[in-house]
Structure 1
Amino acid sequence: MSTRVIALSILALVLGFIVLMASVTFFVRDPLPIVGANQTLLLHTVEIQPQIRTAVAIDGGYRVDVTVEHAETQDPHAQLRPTGGSEITLDTGTDSTGAWSGSGQMTRPGRWELVLTVGPTREVIPFIVRE
């Protein structure tokens, strides 16, 4: 009888662990996008309409290139900053299609924010830069 109790206890622990691991997807509602060295992250606005599409490309030395594609009627202002920190300096300009672009040096991996402002509307898009 005691071997059955031990076997049922082990079975309950294993099944409980499996249910716990499967339930993690219910707790993480909106995971942040993750980007690393030599990768490009594509982001888009939700609150700013018409939608603005942004590409954040990071090279091996963590130098970042940000490209903001927007409608001709919009004049977006973009900032890139670590969460809770001050913005990094970006060398900015526009390309032949009218898209705004900027490049700069990221200071550290971790949580970052792209802040887009068009008129009175401001949207903060968080993402994670991994090592």
Structure 2
Amino acid sequence: MRVFTPELSGSLLPGITRDSVLQVARDLGHEVEERRVSVDEWKKAALSGELTDVFACGTAAVITPVGHVKHATGAFGINGNEPGPLAMALRERLCAVRRCRGGLARLDAPDSVRPTGRCGAPARRWVPRVSAVVRAADGR
């Protein structure tokens, strides 16, 4: 699977949650791409079944699956309005790390997504993001 997320810009700032989600996705073997994704691209991928997950992430929400997208000219559903498998896997991993239950998280995870010695994440700002997961035509 490929994970797409908006690139950092004036309205999208770097944050620990965003960094952690992207690192965990890489750890799980997924390709991560930071770029703009148009609503038309989202809709086309959702209708074709290529788009399997859409989620928002942030400090309090960790990862929140999105099942329905409304936009200026309409709306469309994602994955039958069900949480996607990658969104839930990422959520489980990040929640385990935040609760310092290292046994639930991969022990070989980089320090950026593993609890530090005092049961906490490295101190950096947490900023909400929206990401989309798209299955490539070749099944990746």
Q: TM-score, normalised by structure 1?
A: 0.28
More helix by share: 2
| Higher Rg of the two aligned structures | 1
More strand by share: 1
Q: TM-score, normalised by structure 2?
A: 0.26
Choose between structure 1 and 2 for higher RCO, CA contacts under 8 A separated by at least 6 residues: 2
